[in-house]
Amino acid sequence: MAMQSGIALQEKVSRMLSRKQKKPVLKPNKPLVLEDEVANRKIKKGEATCVTEMSMMMACWKQNNFVDALCSNEMQSFYKCVEKAQIAMKAKSDQASIRQGGRLPPKQVNTLLKRHPNKQTEI
């Protein structure tokens, strides 16, 4: 079995090599030029918060046939927890943006590139 996969791999490699120069033939699907924008990618969120409060609220709903009035205490504690978590996350993201040490998120880089298209930066 391993012998067959090794032979198949060698066949693929030999097909990739050009017959004249014995170098791989590259056929890029895009031009090999740097673009003026940085890819917008989302920064990872982190771990889930308020899971305990949410599960308590859902258990209460299930016990009381999803009547909100009977689970008001659990709902209040869940909403308070969510509010605290949002405040903490905003403070953490503000601190992270200050501590990045010259690194900007992709959106800010694209904005700066659009404002100053002729200015070149060192990498």
Q: 14-72 pLDDT, tens per residue? A: 766 656 566 666 677 877 777 777 777 666 666 788 999 999 999 999 999 999 999 99
Better pLDDT: 89 or 10? 89
Range of the domain at 54: 50-98
Count how many domains the chain has. Answer: 1
- The pLDDT score that the predictor gives to residue 113 is 75
Residue at 16 is within a domain: no
Please check whether residue 110 lies inside any domain of the structure: no
Neighbour-count burial for 56-74, b at 16+ CB within 10 Å, e otherwise = bbeebbeeeeeeeeebeeb
> pTM of the full predicted structure?
0.45
Q: Is 37 inside a domain boundary?
A: no
The answer to whether residue 43 is domain-embedded is no
11 found inside a domain = no
Of the chain, the percentage scoring pLDDT greater than 90 comes to 27
Looking at the domain assignment, is residue 84 inside a domain? yes
Query: Is residue 107 included in any domain, yes or no?
Result: no
Cα 122 vs. chain centroid, distance in angstroms?
26
Residue spans of alpha helices (H) in the chain: 2-16, 51-63, 72-99, 106-115
